Amino acid sequence: MKTPRRVAVLVLAACALALPFFLWDFRTYQLAFAATNAIAILGLNLIAGQAGLISLGHGAFYGLGAYTLAVLMRHWSVSAYAAILAFLWLRGVDCQKVGGSRFTAKHVQSDLKTMA
């Protein structure tokens, strides 16, 4: 039962990875923009819709990632692929700092620092 689904996901992922090589630059930009917003919306739906929580951390980490990517590409002339790897690493460090401090906190207020 799971095998056809896995094959479909793999085929879809392969098509998504190959698509930028067959489209012109503006169309690739539009698809990347739509995919980025879809990821943010899915995360917000999971937090706000399914769990019923309002999170300030979601927007903060999304904004920090976008800002890091823009600065690396615009001012340091880093390629998009290297900038994506760098911003993933930096966001991982940020999340580890926030999450690590949450698990060592002794007060309830510190546990809820990213919640509104």
Phi, psi of 55 (to 5 degrees): -120, 130
The string of pLDDT tens digits covering residues 3-47 is 889 999 999 999 988 888 888 889 888 988 898 888 888 888 887
**pLDDT tens digits, one per residue of 58-81:** 777 778 888 888 888 889 988 888
Tokens representing 44 are 């917000």
pTM (2 decimals)? 0.52
Distance CA 45, CA 38 (A): 10
Tokens 């769990």 sit on residue: 51
Integer Cα distance of 40 and 38 in angstroms = 5
- Using DSSP's 3-state secondary structure scheme, residue 1 falls into coil
Higher pLDDT, residue 97 or 104: 97
**Which positions ≥6 away from 20 have C-beta within 8 Å?**
28, 31
pLDDT for 104 equals 59
Retrieve residue 94's tokens: 């940020």
Q: Please report which residue ranges of the chain form alpha helices under DSSP H.
A: 2-18, 25-44, 56-74, 80-104, 108-111
What gap in Å lies between CA 86 and CA 80, rounded to an integer?
A: 10
